[in-house]
Amino acid sequence: MKVLPILLAFCALLLVCFAVLQNYRGRESQPPVRLAATDETLPLSGDQVRPPAVAGTFYPEDPQELTSLVDRVLQAAGKPSIQGRLVALMVPHAGYVYSAPVAAYSYAQLKGLSFDTVVVVGPCHREPVSGAVVPASTRWRTPLGEVPIDQELAAALIAAEPRISRGDGPHAEEHCLEVQVPFLQRSLTNFRLLPVLVSDFSLTNCAAIAQALARIAQGKKILLIASSDMTHYPAYDDASRTDHKTLDLISSWRLRSLPDWEEQATNSGVAELHCTLCGLGPVMIIMDAARRLGANTAQVLKYANSGDAPTGDKSRCVGYGAVAFTAVEGKPSPEAPMLPTSSQPGAPGSKIKTSEGELTPQQQTELLALAREAVSAFVTTREVVKPTRHDGLFNEPRAVFVTLERGGRLRGCIGSLSPQEPLVDAVVSRAIAAATEDPRFPPVQKSELSQLSFHVSVLSPVKPIKDPSEIVLGKHGVIVSQGRNRGVFLPEVAPQQGWDRDTMLTYLCVEKAGLPPDAWKRGAKLEVFTTQQFGDE
């Protein structure tokens, strides 16, 4: 009697092994597809489904609970409030408990509309990729069902731009695109999806992807979505002030100013401010593509941050913005330029002439007077002074920081690490920004002008170094970068704090770049520069 159960179990085991073997042989016989971004190979199947990766964490796993939540916030957001033809949206991607009430304002604009395909571009949080990556999978599943991936559009995008590849690896655990799908499933019917991931936010990469996206979308019923949260992780008031400046730039189509603003804001001393847009690249890509597809209006629909949520911590916030980009008939296109191609002046990779020359005392005096004149004119009349270009060195592109003090205390400091414009223009723009745009302080008032002292730091060209021992404390400013994280200390920081080189690099990684404390020892890129500093006595 005991033999029969054993025989039955053995037969069952044989059947399982046979099925596994047949499945393996079937997979082995299929041609492999190369994942260019991850250098892996996977069997190519006619039907691959990406299962939900963050259901139950970022949003409810239960279909009824998820439907109820999404429908509730959509109803609270109200009826569509935009004018013109909807071309694109900006939507946050945090956990629904924090960001869903803001995301709903973007998705509420879809009521009564239909699109054949929705292209969602988001940033890689887990795995850096080259160029951009679309999925190899054919369907994406959420608790609300499956959405087909637009394979035809994906192939067209890859054909249009060689830096775009196909692969499921980077998409497998990424949340920034997945969290958009349940909202789309409750807002649209019969649509296809094209998820796109990027981690290279350079103007060259973003321009190439945006232009390819605009070309393949021309004449089609396609909705573009940029998936991005905003500030990470300052206190409530700092987050709100910084985010509203970012939204001002977006609503006025100053997309080429967004990287410069991120650099200024993250180096302005705001505690725990790691970024202005974690999806900076996706936002620039979608804005540029939308402009090329006829969008001429950017409307901020809603703003809040995690501190506004019932369980939010106001001492450490992430910002969320909902923005619609539309084409309004009869309205002229914004004058702000689109992203540059690699052949345009000022594009990354182009050679910008810079000078190693030191400024003379007379030149220093002239630039200080120019900074003071620029602030006084702007605060008094909102006019931007036009500097005289009588000196050759003044006309050369240089990176500049301008610092304002009042009564010996900091009143504003804004600058950039890369040369964007001629030295005199940089002094004017950075001086005005230090007086009016530093998120740590309210704008300078007329009554303060006579009490301000000015200091200017002109940076040398940035140079990479191979070994930290090349850093000379007090002489070199230092930049550390890894992936999308970047931080900088000016030369005077380490001596002021009494730090040795290792301590300075550790603080630079943690406090300024949001990296592990030993990242400078483990592959992070190090660059140095020098500054010529001068100011009011």
Give 343-383 pLDDT, tens digit per residue: 333 333 333 233 345 788 888 888 999 999 999 999 999 99
pLDDT of residue 529: 87
**Mean pLDDT, rounded, for 317-340:** 84
- pLDDT of amino acid 28: 31
User: What are the start-end ranges of the E strands in 373-490?
Assistant: 399-406, 409-415, 452-459, 463-465, 477-482, 485-489
Q: From CA 465, how far away is CA 512, in angstroms rounded?
A: 19
Q: Work out the angle between the directed axes of helices 96-107 and 63-77 (0-180°, nearest 10).
A: 50
- Residue type for position 447: S
**Confidence label for 46 from pLDDT (cuts 50, 70 and 90):** low
Token readout for 47 is 């039907």
Going by pLDDT thresholds of 50, 70 and 90, the confidence category of residue 267 is: confident
Higher local confidence (pLDDT), 501 or 6: 501
- Distance CA(325)–CA(130), nearest Å, equals 27
3-state secondary structure of 128: coil
Quote the pLDDT of residue 200.
86
Q: What percent of the chain has pLDDT over 70?
A: 86
Per the listing, tokens 């002292």 go with: 453
Whether 25 shows a pLDDT value over 80: the answer reads: no
Residue 332, token pair as written in the block: 């002229």
241/390 Cα distance (integer angstroms): 38
Mean pLDDT: which of 200-209, 329-338, 445-454 is highest?
A: 445-454
* pLDDT(256) > 70: yes
Average pLDDT, the chain: 85
Higher pLDDT, 394 or 306: 306
Mean of the pLDDT values across residues 78-102?
96
Token readout for 444 is 């300078």
For residues 339 and 81, which has the higher predicted lDDT (pLDDT)? 81
Confidence of residue 110 (pLDDT cuts 50, 70, 90): very high
Partners of residue 32 on adjacent β-strands: 43
Between these two residues, 496 and 10, which has the higher pLDDT value?
496
* pLDDT for 357: 52
More confident residue, 175 or 47: 175
What does the pLDDT read at residue 494? 82
118: alpha, beta or left, given left = phi > 0 and alpha = psi -120 to 50? beta
pLDDT of residue 327: 95
Q: Which residue has the higher pLDDT, 171 or 474?
A: 171
Provide mean pLDDT across the span 494-507. 86
Write down the pLDDT at residue 31: 28
Cα 296 to Cα 494: distance, rounded to the nearest angstrom: 47
Per the model's pLDDT, the better-predicted residue between 162 and 221 turns out to be: 221
In 460-500, alpha helices (H)? 493-497
Could you tell me the end-to-end alpha-carbon distance of the chain, in angstroms, rounded to an integer? 103
**β-sheet with 531-535: strand ranges across:** 409-415, 399-406, 452-459, 531-535
Q: Pick the range with the lowest mean pLDDT from 86-90, 336-340, 519-523.
A: 336-340
Does pLDDT of 32 surpass 60? no
Q: Is the pLDDT of residue 10 over 70?
A: no
pLDDT of residue 390: 59
Task: Examine the pLDDT at 42 and tell me if it is beyond 60.
Answer: no
Structure confidence at residue 246 (pLDDT): 96
Q: Per the confidence metrics, is the pTM higher than 0.75?
A: no
Give exposure, 192-222, as e/b (b: 16+ Cβ within 10 Å).
bbbbbbbbbbebbbbbbbbbbbbebbeeeeb
Burial label for 353, CB within 10 Å (0-12, 13-18, 19+), is exposed
pLDDT of residue 418: 75
At 45 the pLDDT is: 43
Q: What's the confidence (pLDDT) of residue 344? A: 36
Pairing label, strands 49-50, 139-142: parallel
Q: What is the pLDDT of residue 181?
A: 98
pLDDT-based confidence at 436, cuts 50/70/90? very high
Predicted local confidence at residue 129, as pLDDT: 83
Answer whether residue 161 shows pLDDT above 50: yes
Q: In terms of pLDDT, which residue wins out, 360 or 84?
A: 84
Q: If pLDDT is split at 50, 70 and 90, which confidence band does 512 have?
A: confident
Q: What is the mean pLDDT of residues 142-152?
A: 97
What pLDDT was estimated at residue 341? 52
C-alpha 327, offset from chain centre:
24
Query: Are 367 and 456 a contacting pair, CB within 8 Å?
Result: yes
Instruction: Find the mean pLDDT for residues 487-511.
Output: 85
- Residue 331: pLDDT band (50, 70, 90) is confident
| Average pLDDT of the residues in 330-336 | 73
